[in-house]
Amino acid sequence: MNVSAKINYSYEQIHMLVKQIVEEITNKDIKIDLVIAIATGGWIPARILRTFLPHRGRFPKPLYSIGIINYDSDDNLLDDPTIVQNLPVNIGFNNKNVLLVDEVADSGGTFVKAKEYIEALSPKNLYTAVIHLKDKSKFKPDFIGENAGNNWIIYPWDVKNYDQEE
């Protein structure tokens, strides 16, 4: 892997990038009906995103997750992304604008797999959002917080020990 640098992000930086994504969605007048996080990296950005998305009525947008693994426990890329957690069968995607969220589009394989899965459920529209897009990604999401080039991104939720450098 050709990594330019390792970059640590704070929750505050992630928060601001997610807010920027929501502003772009809102400025394009896109109405999102439900949010789906790609587990596990997409959970936190999807939750923050849902906070900022405009909603009508008493309740915020529904938030679900789909579990897909693309790397093994040693951070080695798998040959094919694997769905390890399906969406609930009773969501009902007809006439719904869905936003699929992950933290990074690295190879892009996870997004491709998730998009195929959700499109088979026939939503009205499927939009995709990511905090960071890597140069090598074969998938280009609709909404991007920032381009990460070839940098290795260290998210605050992935840090195992704050006393030591990752």
Q: Is 79 a catalytic residue?
A: no
Helix residue spans in 1-98 (DSSP H): 11-27, 43-52
Q: State residue 13 phi and psi, 5-degree precision.
A: -65, -40
The tokens of 66 are what?
Answer: 């789909």
- How far apart (Å, rounded) are the C-alpha atoms in residues 148 and 145? 9
Other beta carbons within 10 Å of 87 = 17
Candidates 106, 142, 158, 163; catalytic one: 106
Which residue(s) pair with 101 in the sheet?
37, 129
DSSP 8-state assignment for residue 60: -
- Count other Cβ atoms within 10 Å, centred on residue 76: 8
Tokens of 52: 């900022």
Q: Mind telling me the catalytic residues?
A: 106
